[in-house]
Structure formats: structure tokens, C-alpha cells
Chains A and B, each alone.
Chain A
Amino acid sequence: MADSIQSEFVTLVSCDGFEFIIPRSAACISGTIRRMLDPTSKFSEALSGRCVLENITGIVLEKVCEYFMYNEKHKDQANVADMEIQAELCLELLMAADYLDT
């Protein structure tokens, strides 16, 4: 994958090795990931399009990716339906939200 051309998709890797490939625009909802992937920053993430999130487990990252797509989908809508979140995930999701700045 050439460095100069930004691919449309990015890969998010959880700490236990799960990989999620999602559209770049969706991933950039998160402030942290947006800064990671900023092409001017010359971070290795920006060059490879692959973000390793060391403190997020696969289960949580799956939900986070679901949220990214949910946000992407409802960006311009007036009435946004709620997203289903299991009770056991919500605290870890809150921690992940804090880390990802979203």
C-alpha cells in the first residue's frame, strides 16, 4: 500500500489481536484515532493505516466499531435511535470512549 495514497479503510487492532477494518471516515470520529492517522504527523499508524489500541479488548473494540458505524450512519439525521449496549460492557465502553476521545 503506497504511503502517499490514503486508503479508504483502516485497521484497528485490539490488545488481544482482533482486527477490525472500517472506513477511515468512521474511525476518524474518534479524536485519538484521527490524530493517529493524521498524514502530516508521520506517525507509523498514519503510514500503515493500522492502529494498535493496546488497552482495548476485542469485545469492546467490536462495540466501539459498531458505534463508529452507527455515528457515521446517523450523522445528518434529526432523530437518532439509541444504540443497544449490554450492561456488562458499558463501563469498559466508557473507559474506551475516554481514551478514544469520542
Chain B
Amino acid sequence: MDNEVPLSPTTADSAPSRRLSRFDDRSSQPSSDPALFSSDDIPASGLENYHAPVAGAGRKRRYRGTWWGEQVADPKRKRADFKEKRNVDSGVWMGSDESIAESSLPSEDASNWGEDLLKTVLDPRAPSKVSNAPSLFKASDTVATTVQPRPVIFQGPVESEEHKYAKAVINDCLEKGDDSVDLGSINLRYIPPGLLRPLQHLTKLPSLHEAPISENAYFSLQPFLRIYLSNNSLTSLYTSEIFDLKDLKVLSLRNNKLMRIPEAIRKLTALQVLNVSMNRLDELPWDLLWLLQQGELKHFTAHPNPFPSIDESGTAEWHCQFDKTDDENKDEDEDELDIPEASPIPKFRDYEGVPPDDAWTPIHVATGPVTRLDMEGRILDDSPSFNAPATSLPASRAPSLREVSLRAISKLPGIDQLTDSELLEFPALVIPLISLARQTRQEGAQRCSICQREFIVSRAMWTEWWDCTPHENGMKRPRVSGELLRPLPFKRVSCSWACVPGVQAVE
């Protein structure tokens, strides 16, 4: 109600003289606040002075504010003081607000925050590294709980020339929307972390063809991501980043020094072409066969690589036919299939007419002997005797306590940042296991090839030989009738002894 404009009081006697302002009129005391009119406090605006010259004649008086609380506008006052008032925090952060940016972003010693925390989490008894650091506050040394500042020693790895070049290539591709990333022949020894990650967000740009627009000017803007890492010196793909590129369609790793392909390749479900020829591989991950069977992978080049021959590594079981013309002198083996004594040559079955479906798909040729590992992942010496399913140790799918605690350790924050020297501070017994957990974190967890569970310590492994000839020639032609098979070794690992093939057959 206070805000309402009061009505003018009812005046008993009409004022004889209107020269006086109503405020001077003693006879009529208003019960409420006196009414205000626009001309009230300006004496010169009375009726008598109607024609009197007004100060600043010729110009209309300018008022500011509401009509009852009006002020004469001060021409000297600038609107500029508005700007000073703006200093309050609007809550909207602008890129140009440098003052705020400095304080809110973590400073560079933030990279050290996690390490101390990790150390106390992993081993509460181990003395914190902080105490070794030269302390700025000698007095606080007595108080063990105070967090002492650590000298900031943060140096990124010195970027080598080839990494700079690779980064430039990737930035160029991102800028131009080029989905063919050529990192070939630049002597790359490893893929630095963070190099390939931006490619996740690669988007193609529409082409700016001048009119007339031809039919082939229309194309999909979905990137057909191709990465060529051929002719480098890569020894491992330890960075799991490349396997985070879900849209990767073509990957060439030809002519490198790779010893193995990580199981994490399974994540590249869109992969269509893979070339791993001219490396140092003696086995392929089982997950690769999964990609061939279930995924999009249509063109897989594996040869040449130093794969062992099927005879050298030995087989426990054959799953296919053999070249009948060669095995005249075959002996009956304990298996249900006929196995020639020396150098069996597996071949595809004879067919006539339209190639059957399995002329296109990978064929299981043979299974190698199972190697069992103990709870720490060491190969058991007497593995042949363990091949019988019923042993003194029951085959259980339940993970060992070591496995359970390693899974918890591998989920700790910062475990992948652990350096080798920090690793040595752990008790000697568990160093190999913790380094295994670190590797798992860096490369992504392995999955049991039978039950698909993630695990850290593999308990059994064996080689399965599969023929992938149609995929090797890019699905251009099926196997011909009676074609000799050239099987590739795929390594299978399992999380428990209950997952090895003999036990699996029972289920």
C-alpha cells in the first residue's frame, strides 16, 4: 500500500492564494502524506509564473525518474558510471575474463595431487614421498598431519620430431575434415598419449563445389576414418586410445615391429580393413577372430608374419578334413578323426555348384594344447597332468582372492600413472601382480574368451587354428572345392580353469 500514490487531500477551504505551495498550508493538515504533483517542488512552475522565463529557457526541463520522485537530470552526470556497477559477478563466465580464469583453473602442480593420495591409499604404511621433499616450513615438520607443499616438478616429455609431425598431420586432418590420416613412414616408435584422441571428433566438411552440382557431389558426411601407421617402428600399441576410435574403418599397421595385438581391438567394431602384415606377431588375439565372425572386418591381411606352423606348436584336436590323396599311410589316432602322422595338410571339403555358406566364413582347423597357469599367472610345469578335468584342485569359476583384489587395485585412480620406480616401493611379492594391474589399466582389461568376463590374471591359454582365407583376400572369392587351408593361430585366454575347452564341452 505504501507504493500507492496517495490521493490529494480534500481541502476544506479552497486556497485563496495559489501562490503558496500546499506544503505551507497549515490549516489543512492532511491525514496522509501530502499528494505530490509534478510541478510541486518547483516554485517557478506556479500558475502565476506561467509566463515567467524559466532557467535554461528555450529548453525543456528534463526529469528523471517517476513523476513523484523526480529529479532534474544532471547533464554532467554521464551514463558511464553504469560500467563501474557492472563489476558484480554475473555468474556467466566469458572467455575474456582472465582474472577469474586464473583462479578457477587448477594450476600445474595439480598433476601431483593424485599421486600422494594414491600412495596413501595403496599402502598406508609407506612413508609419504612428501617428507623427502625440501620443506619450505621447517617448523611444521613436527606436525605430521599438515600437508607440506611439494616443489612443483612437472615436465612433459620432450616431444620428438616425429610426434610433432604426427600431431601436425592430425590437426591438419581435423581442420580439413579429411578422414584419411596418413602417419606412414615417419619413424614413429610409439604412439604418444593424446595423439589420436582428437580424431574421435573428426567431422567431414561438405565440399564447396561450384555449380553445376554433379551427381557425385553428394556424399555422406559420416567420416570413413582411415589411419595408416605403416612403415613405422611401433613395438606395442600399449595406448588404448586407438581402440577408442569407435568409427575406425581402416587400420594399417603394415611393416612395424609389433610383438602382439592387444585384445582391446575388439572395441573397433566398425573396422572393415586391417593390415598387420610384416610385423613380429606369432599369434593373433582371439578377439580378432570375433571381429571377423561377428564384426564388420572384411579384409584382413595377416601374412607375412613369423607365425609358427601348425606342426611346430602341436595340436590336441583336429576339427577338419584332410587331403585324402596325401594320407595313404595314415595311422589311427586316439581321436575320432583320421590324423596322418607327419605334416597333415588340412583342406576344405569338396563341394559342387554354388559355394556353401561356410566357404566364406572362418573355419576352425585345430586346437592346440591347453597351458594352465597358476594364480599368479605363471605357467604350471606339470600342465599335461592337469589336463584331466578332475584334479585335486576343483575347477571353479569363482575368481581367486588375488584376482579379486587385483581387480580392485586396477580400478584405483592413478594406477596407470604409476612409474617403475614407484612400483619398486611396493612389497616385492606383489610387484609383478601390481604391474599386471597397471598394464590392464593401460591396455584395457582382457576378456575371457569363453565367458566374456573381464579378468587380470589369465589362468589358461591355448591356441586355436582358424582358416580365414576368404577374409584374407577381401571376401572377393570363397574357398574353392578342396582348397588347402592355411590356418592362422588365434590365442585364447580364459579367466579360470573351468573355462577351458574340456570343461566347456561338458556344459
Contacts and interface: CB of A to CB of B under 8 A. Distances in A.
B398 A74 contact: yes
A97 B405 CA distance: 8
A91 B401 contact: no
The 5 A-B residue pairs with the shortest CB-CB distance, nearest first, are A90-B408, A97-B401, A85-B408, A93-B405, A97-B402
Interface residues of B, number: 30
Interface string B378-413: 000000000000000010111111101111110110
A101 B394 CA distance: 15
B429 interface: yes
A94 B398 contact: no
A71 B398 contact: yes
B396 A71 contact: yes
B398 A90 contact: no
B405 A70 contact: no
A63 to B, nearest CB: 9
Given A87-B121, A87-B412, A88-B121, A94 B402 contact: yes
A87 to B, nearest CB: 5
Most B CB within 10 A of own CB, among A94, A97, A100, A101: A94
Most A CB within 10 A of own CB, among B397, B426, B433: B397
25 contacts: A64-B401, A75-B398, A77-B397, A78-B507, A80-B453, A82-B407, A85-B405, A85-B408, A86-B408, A87-B408, A89-B408, A90-B405, A90-B412, A91-B426, A93-B405, A94-B402, A94-B405, A94-B430, A94-B433, A94-B434, A97-B400, A97-B404, A97-B405, A98-B430, A102-B400
B169 interface: no
B429 A80 contact: no
Interface of A: 30, 64, 67, 70-71, 74-80, 82-83, 85-91, 93-98, 100-102
Interface of B: 121-124, 375, 394, 396-402, 404-409, 411-412, 426-427, 429-430, 433-434, 451, 453, 507
Contacts of B394: 75
B427 A75 contact: no
A101 B401 CA distance: 9
Contact of A79 (B375, B411, B433, B451): B451
A29 to B, nearest CB: 8
Contacts of A102: 375, 400-402
Contacts of A91: 122-123, 405, 409, 426, 430
Nearest to A85: B408
Contacts of B402: 94, 97-98, 102
A93 B409 CA distance: 10
Nearest to A90: B408
A88 B124 contact: yes
Contacts of B434: 94
A34 B294 CA distance: 45
A82 B453 CA distance: 10
Contacts of B429: 95, 98
A19 to B, nearest CB: 20
Contacts of B451: 78-79
Contacts of A75: 394, 396-398
A95 B405 CA distance: 9
Given A94-B430, A95-B430, A98-B430, A85 B397 contact: no
Nearest to A77: B397
A83 B123 contact: no
A76 B398 CA distance: 8
Contacts of A76: 396-397
B404 A85 contact: yes
Most A CB within 10 A of own CB, among B375, B400, B404, B427: B404
Nearest to B123: A91
Contacts of B433: 94
B376 to A, nearest CB: 8
A6 to B, nearest CB: 18
A94 B409 contact: yes
